[in-house]
């Protein structure tokens, strides 16, 4: 039982390049989330998927797209990377969208855009 896994762990991009961050969970959770973590800012929600087949914008969605590929997988795409997207990205999942369910976090992807 691996929990939440993310790939890659580290990535360096040049401005304008694109990439997809992958996330998978093996806990049969319905809901999945993408956050970014910046120094002094805490974690901010980029997008979430309350259930398979649905996605919604969070607090900071600009410059990102997401795909809920199936119940297990939720990917985050940067179409044209910008230096402002340099951050640590965390994927999380929870059993349900409604109610105070614990969110389980992956180990993170450290992205640098030059």
Q: Which of 34, 48, 64, 74 binds another protein (CB under 8 A)?
A: 48
Contact 53, 32 (CB under 8 A): no
5 versus 65: smaller Cβ distance to another protein: 5
From CA 69, how far away is CA 91, in angstroms rounded?
14
Contact between 58 and another protein per CB under 8 A: yes
Contact between 100 and another protein per CB under 8 A: yes
CB atoms within 10 A of CB 79: 12
Q: Which of 85, 94, 111, 113 binds another protein (CB under 8 A)?
A: 94
Helices (H) and strands (E) in the chain, counts: 0, 11
CB of residue 110 to another protein, shortest distance in Å? 10
């Amino acid at each position: 039982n691996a929990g939440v896994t993310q790939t890659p762990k580290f990535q360096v991009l040049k401005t304008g390049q694109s990439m997809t961050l992958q996330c998978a969970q093996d806990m049969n959770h319905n809901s999945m989330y993408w956050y970014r973590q910046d120094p002094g800012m805490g974690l901010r929600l980029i997008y979430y998927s309350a259930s398979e087949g649905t996605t919604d914008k969070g607090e900071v969605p600009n410059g990102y797209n997401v795909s809920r590929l199936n119940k297990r997988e939720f990917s985050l795409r940067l179409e044209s990377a910008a230096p402002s997207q340099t951050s640590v990205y965390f994927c999380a999942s929870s059993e349900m969208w409604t109610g105070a369910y614990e969110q389980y976090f992956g180990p993170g992807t450290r992205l640098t855009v030059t």
